[in-house]
């Protein structure tokens, strides 16, 4: 798929995630692989409202996170998208900030949640430096389809945008079920 086609799909998925409460305001970031060799991603820009995200707010980055097409600054977490694309061969990476993933990631133990194989990583402001840890965790848990960042949200991926979108739906559903079963509440 071309950059323009992927950008249109990413914008649509971002607006859908916003509508479902999974990426409110400027939270979350979404990417899709434009090219494998050399690695290029279409990725949402930093600081844009996912409810009104347009194709023009998606840039193409190279394997180092530098913008090669479009205008704007890629997400500060672009290094995570690149690491997941490399480590998992993912064609798309979606990062949501739902209420339930945030609450559950904070309440979970060091062993994670009862969803088998779903790692929980501590949050950091330096994701580029944390990439080796992320790659090691992904290598340890080859069957995982996602991970949570403590107090922050979900990262999931798929071979393409359709599969990544399906994983978001399934995991977000499970998070809400688990949170409600545990009697957890949130205050807006």
**Helix (H), strand (E) at residue 44:** strand 39-44
3-class secondary-structure state, position 81: helix
Looking at residue 119, what is its pLDDT? Answer: 85
- For 62, how many CA atoms within 13 A lie in the half-sphere containing its CB? 5
- Tokens standing for 110? 């060091």
Query: Which residues are 30's β-sheet partners?
Result: 94
- Residue 103: what pLDDT? 82
- pLDDT of 109: 60
Position 184 scores a pLDDT of 66
The predicted structure's pLDDT at residue 179: 80
Within the chain, which residues score under 70 in pLDDT? Answer: 108-117, 184-188
Spatial distance between the Cα atoms of 100 and 86, rounded to a whole number of angstroms? 28
């Amino acid at each position: 798929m071309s950059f323009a086609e992927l950008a249109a799909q990413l914008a649509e998925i971002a607006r859908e995630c916003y509508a479902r409460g999974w990426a409110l305001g400027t939270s979350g970031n979404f990417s899709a692989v434009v090219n494998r060799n050399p690695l290029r991603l279409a990725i949402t820009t930093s600081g844009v409202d996912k409810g009104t995200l347009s194709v023009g707010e998606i840039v193409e980055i190279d394997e180092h996170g530098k913008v090669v097409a479009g205008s704007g600054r890629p997400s500060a977490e672009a290094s995570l998208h690149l690491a997941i694309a490399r480590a998992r061969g993912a064609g798309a990476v979606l990062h949501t900030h739902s209420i339930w993933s945030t609450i559950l990631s904070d309440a979970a133990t060091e062993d994670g949640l009862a969803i088998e194989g779903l790692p929980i990583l501590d949050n950091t402001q330096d994701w580029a430096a944390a990439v080796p840890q992320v790659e090691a965790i992904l290598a340890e848990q080859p069957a995982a389809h996602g991970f949570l960042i403590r107090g922050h949200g979900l990262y999931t991926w798929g071979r393409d945008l359709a599969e990544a979108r399906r994983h978001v739906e399934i995991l977000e559903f499970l998070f809400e079920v688990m949170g409600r079963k545990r009697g957890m509440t949130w205050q807006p």
